[in-house]
Structure 1
């Protein structure tokens, strides 16, 4: 029997790259999908068992070509991790339709298109879908009108997938990261914001990319064979502590 294969979108950096590496450690093949060619090439350097594919998940033609390449090569898809996302933050008044669509076409349309394109392969493998939401889909915050709304929609889309695809043996779950200590976050979060997050999170720290990846790979594995339709927050308890973070409103 050939090795299982996971498709990970947005795999060139951050949570996507951490997830791809963890799948490899666990003996899977990984199709690493990203629209940033140079970053994808750098991310794949030195990794064995990966199939890098340049693809913008918001483009139906590119998504179809990506799945065709996988099926004509490894010939199977056992898990799909819809991780590709755009983090664009700004006030409601400054979010024009073009900006709104840029966020939605990757964060929401991309999840829909990629899941749909992988459907037949996932039926054959009784596979799993894990969509990456966000704590911003659970709780409103300033500057996140497009981003937060897109992630809330992904959470509901996940439950639609679970309800409809269960009869084919396909499981669908959503992982909602809280604040994660990525290079990008550390570059844009002021010390006030970092301190406020630490105060608001019961575990008093940011999460790591690896900690998010551990939950994603678990949900894709046979160990989670009776888990579907779930929204799992991986946030150090942040969701449990109430609404609002004053430092983010200043």
Structure 2
């Protein structure tokens, strides 16, 4: 892969994906909003954009330093844990916008450069899409929608040679996991086969494995240490 775009590149998963791409020898365009990626490399370009703005995805397209994109990784996403009864409409809509609308809009903007390289898209969902999770209905519903978005995009964009897959991490060593109450995290790990959280690097390796799997599209691969076995 020569050219890789990563959204949400300053988060724990985004940072690991960028590092993995650079280690493979790719040139990387890393999008961030408020906090720049903690990486420096001659092959790394960064762009500061708020992708929740209507103009954001188009601005990302204009910032591309190449005509083609081999891999787009939609790492952007997240939510604060909120119980169902305390979740207001604004928080629900914010989660849907960040977790679903932004990956949709970014992928739409990059169809032409992805098609030029017969490239791939990997969306980041979550095992919460299947289990409900501990972060609340706004997060689980948003990440479930990412799985549906992945399947729909794979069907439609396949005729242009674009593959679209999804990685659904379970508890990952990250700021989001650190925000969970200790009792909640302990309960999650008690039902995990490996009895540990996965690392961002393990998720990044899976992202690149899917990105390179030329015969695979429309699939969601769970990376959770064996918590959700299906």
> What is the TM-score when the length of structure 2 is the normalising length?
0.95
CA distance in 2, matches of 1:112, 1:195: 34
Q: Report the Cα offset of residue 90 of structure 1.
A: 0.9
Aligned residue-pair number: 230
Alpha carbons of structure 1 residues 4 and 59: separation in structure 2 relative to 1, 3 Å? same
Deviations 1:6-50 (A, max 9, x none): 1101001201110000000001111101111xx21x523x32211
Q: Report the Cα offset of residue 119 of structure 1.
A: 0.5
Residues 81, 131 of structure 1: 8 Å contact kept: yes
More helix as a share of residues: 1
Q: Report the Cα offset of residue 144 of structure 1.
A: 1.3
Q: What are the equivalent positions in structure 2 for 1:215-230 lying under 5 Å apart?
A: 215-221=206-212, 224-230=213-219
Residues 127, 133 of structure 2: 8 Å contact kept: no
Q: What are the equivalent positions in structure 2 for 1:190-229 lying under 5 Å apart?
A: 190-221=181-212, 224-229=213-218
Q: Which runs of 5+ in 2 are unaligned?
A: none
Match of 1:120 in 2: 112
CA distance in 2, matches of 1:134, 1:143: 11
Match of 2:91 in 1: 99
Alpha carbons of structure 1 residues 109 and 183: separation in structure 2 relative to 1, 3 Å? closer
Alpha carbons of structure 1 residues 141 and 99: separation in structure 2 relative to 1, 3 Å? same
Q: Which runs of 5+ in 1 are unaligned?
A: 242-250
Match of 2:57 in 1: 63
Q: Report the Cα offset of residue 53 of structure 1.
A: 0.6
> What is the TM-score when the length of structure 1 is the normalising length?
0.87
Q: Secondary structure at the match of 1:233?
A: strand
Pair 1:236-2:225 in alignment: yes
Q: Secondary structure at the match of 2:63?
A: helix
Q: Secondary structure at the match of 1:217?
A: helix
